[in-house]
Each structure stands twice: as structure tokens, then as C-alpha cells.
Structure 1
């Protein structure tokens, strides 16, 4: 193995550890302080902490063992190793941060919001680096590999049962605030792990050559020609396919408007783009 590959691998494990620490602090610093529940294995650990006083970190680790075995059988071994490492760091950090709450939050909604944001950022980085923090994350990863569903959305659906349990233990108000936290968490996980959605733009124009030159020069984005034919006129024409970031979309529209005011533009959301100029795994 090359030296640079070793450095990158070590860097990924360091990144997973940092993400796990951030996620653990979101629980102790915001979620527990606000008296909220959570989703998946972590949510069960929180309920056992509130009712029986059991340490969240230890319970989280023990309950993750069966799911870790599932991951070992269903998912590639590198992912499982990274996940096991993430679970260990996360579980230790959960109990290490117990009682460390430098910010006093008298607003439950802020606790739910910031707990969800910070937890989503930490978990999202762990996902992006090829690992997870266990629990329903492993199940979501398996479902993503088999069906292509977004991990954050999958976790939100799975965690509905935990919300019902939270409703019974913590009461309806706290359960609803917990849902706010989980929704925020799931959206941040999708953004961090997959990146901000880009825009796939299809342009039908008789000025295709001029458009391509300006797109290449001003945006630095590649374009693809698709050969089309008008349904009414039967005239052959070039269709331009281009993917740009959200911030570049306005500039692209201006270029098209200036070169061909009669052009036809279709803009679609690309939830994830992997390639030159975009996120590379």
C-alpha cells in the first residue's frame, strides 16, 4: 500500500472519530439537557437513562452488538470496521460528556434544533467517510445499498416506533420536540453525506455552439450534446445537458437568455453528483 493511501486511511479514521465526538456532544450537551428522546438504538439508550439511570454510552454499545453482526454479514467489511470504530468512540464520548453542558438552554425547541443540527453534522461526516455510528444507521446503510433510498429519510421512518415509545415515557410534548430534532438530524445527514443538491439543466436552442463556448469559459462546466428532433417542425437540433451548482444556476440562465431568448430550458434537481467539479467519494 502506498504511503499516501495509508495517510488517507488514517485521516478517514480521525475524521470518523471527530464526527462521533461531535454527535456524542450533541446528545449530552443539548438533547439530554432538554430532556428529549432520540431515534434508534440511541433513543432506546436515552429512554433507559431517563427511566433506570443506565449510562447512555454503555447501553448504546451493548445494544449495537446484534446490529453490528448484521452489518458484518450484509455490508462490506471496511464499512463494518469503520462502524465498529465509530461505535466505540461514540459510546465512550457519550459517557465522557455526561454533565458537560456549558450552555444553559431554557428553551426545549432550541435544544431540539441545535441537538439535531450538531448530531446531523457529526453523523453526516461519519457517513461521508464510509462509516456509521451504529444503530439504525446500519439498517439504513443496508437499505441504501439494496434500494437506493436516502439514509436520512430511511432513518426517519424507522425511528417512528421509537417516537411512540418516547411519547409514552416522556409525554406528548417532549415526543413532538424529539421529532423536530430527528427531522433536523435526518436533513443534515443527507446534506453532509451526499452534498448539496446540484441542478441538471437541459437546454434546447438553435444557438447551441455559442452557448457551449460561454458555459465552458464563464462557468468552467462540461456539457454534453444530445441529438434531438422537433416534434412539430421535424427539424434536427442539438440538446445541451449540463450540471451546475445551485449558485451557478442564475449565471447559466443569464447566458442562455442573452444568446437565445427563444430557447427552452428544463431545470431538475440532481440529489447527488459524483465527478469532476463535484463531490468525489
Structure 2
């Protein structure tokens, strides 16, 4: 059931991206970032459909992702690219607004929403997103900021092909996309969880069975009651927080849980 919801999420998010391309960005000759931006340039200067170009340019990067990120991730990414490409064939290229600033902001925000939810579902929109995801697995960079940095090349290309005013509108669009992606995709955010419970062994076993995280167990004593308790400490990603809270609550509803944001981690920590 959860896999089906992921697919539905990716489908509607990909359609949203296609809509933002054809109804906000392309009518104003404003681009999005990465491979999609290059495809937009080719689509605007050639008779080829932008959606078809997006699919063709993404093929080599999807193969790279298959080698580095796994079959499921790439399956979701291919599904996203196909849905976006097909949807762009049917959604008319017709601007909602004649104001390029409004179009760049709203188009960028909608692309960011779609991209962020696709990331959360375990896929990508292809292109530079795959490269960005590979890099974030090695180093803890905010994904939206990393993609924004890589997309600078698209801004310069659009400046030379069209004009520099449109390139600046493109920069606004890419910046908005990156900010929204970082607000939705928070895998790079790490949390330290300290659990104080009288059912320490049961909580430990449950967490170890469900998470790929190490846990440190300490002996604790209530300062007022003098009762013996276990203190479990672990570091997780923000994505795992709701799962951890649910599991701890199921085993010991009276446990005390302290959650703090972690600045950085050293040593062995699974980042995927």
C-alpha cells in the first residue's frame, strides 16, 4: 500500500512539474535548472518537443543512478521523467500570467514542490537531481542548494541564447525551486534522540529491528523517584523521526523523549 501511495505521489508531482513548465516558464522563455533547462533551450530553438528532449537527455544519467543509487530509486525516477514528458505533450504551452517575474516565482515554486515530494517518495526528476543525490549521500549538503549551484551553467547558456534579462528571471526560478526543495526534502537534517524509559530492552530491540542506526544504552536513575531507567541515544534523519516516535509510544507511552537537531556527525553513519 505504501509503495502505491509513493507512485501516486510521484505521478501527481510530475504532472505538477509539467504544468509549471508549460503554463509558467516556457511561455515566458524562462528556464528551469539542469537537464530540463537544457531541454527547454533546445525545445525553444528547435521544432522538437521539450518533453521528448527531457527523456532523451536523462537516459545516460538514469543509467549512472542505476549503478550508484539502486533499482527502486531509478525505477521511480524513470516513472517521473516519463510522466513529466508525456504530460508536457498534452498540457498546452499557454502562459497564465504575462508578468515574467510572477511566472518565474510561481513556476519555480511549483517545480520545487513537485521535485521535493518526488524526493520524499524515494525518486527524482532525473538530470542534475541524480548527481545531487549521489553527492549528498557522500557529504551532508542541502540538496536544493547543491542543485542550485550546479544549475548556474543553465543561466549562462540562457543568457547567451536569449538575453541576460531572461537569464536573471531563470535565476529567480531556480532559486525559488531550490528553497522549496530544501523545505520539503530534509533528509540531510540529522536529529539526536534521547529516550528515557523503563522498557529499555524492548525499545532497543524494536529500534534495531526497524532502523539501520546504532544505539547507545546508558543506565539512568530518576532524580526524584530514584527509579532505575534506561537511557537510549541515537542519531537519525528527520525522515525517520515520525517512525521512531510511533515505535517508542507503542512500547512505552510514558517514556520521556528529547529530540535535538544535530549540527554534524563524525564516524559511521548511514546517509542513505
TM norm. shorter chain > 0.5: yes
Across the aligned residues of Structure 1 and Structure 2, the Cα RMSD in angstroms comes to 3.2
Q: Which residue of 2 aligns with 1:129?
A: 121
The answer on whether the counterparts of 2:26 and 2:93 sit within 8 Å (CA) in structure 1 is no
Runs of 4+ residues over 4 Å off in structure 1: 197-200, 277-281
User: Which moved further from structure 2: 138-147 or 89-98?
Assistant: 89-98
Aligned partners of 1:163 and 1:175 also within 8 Å: yes
Could you say if the C-alpha distance between residues 31 and 278 of structure 1 is closer, same or farther in structure 2, counting changes exceeding 3 Å?
A: farther
Contact 2:191 2:238 in 1 (8 A): no
- How far apart, CA to CA, are the structure 1 residues paired with 2:55 and 2:241? 37
Rg comparison, structure with higher value: 1
In 1: Cα distance, 2:239 partner to 2:139 partner = 18
In structure 2, how many angstroms separate the alpha carbons of the residues matched to 1:182 and 1:38? 6
Structure 2 Cα separation of the partners of residues 172 and 139 of structure 1: 27
**What is the 5 A alignment of 1:39-118?**
39-101=33-95, 103=96, 105-118=97-110
Where 2:185 maps in the other structure, the secondary structure is helix
Instruction: Determine if contact 1:273/1:279 at 8 Å carries over to the other structure.
Output: no
The answer to whether residue 169 in structure 2 is matched with residue 177 in structure 1 is: yes
**SS of 1:93's equivalent?**
helix
* TM-score, reference length from structure 1: 0.68
Q: Deviations over 1:197-218 (max 9, x none)?
A: 8999xxxxxxxxxxxxxxxxxx
Q: 1:144 to 1:198 in 2, by over 3 A?
A: closer
Q: CA deviation at 1:278?
A: 8.7
1:275 to 222, 241, 244: 241
Residue 160 of structure 2 corresponds to which residue in structure 1?
Answer: 168
Mapped to 2, the partners of 1:199 and 1:69 lie a distance apart of: 33
Query: Which runs of 5 or more structure 1 residues have no equivalent in the other structure?
Result: 1-6, 201-224, 228-270
1:149 pairs with 2:138: no
TM-score (norm 2): 0.70
2:196 aligns with none
Residues 109/279 of structure 1: CA separation in 2 closer, same or farther (3 Å cut): farther
Whether 2:192 is the aligned partner of 1:192: answer no
Would you say how many aligned residue pairs link Structure 1 and Structure 2?
213
* Structure-1 separation of matches of 2:35 and 2:117: 19
Q: What is the Cα deviation at residue 273 of structure 1?
A: 6.5
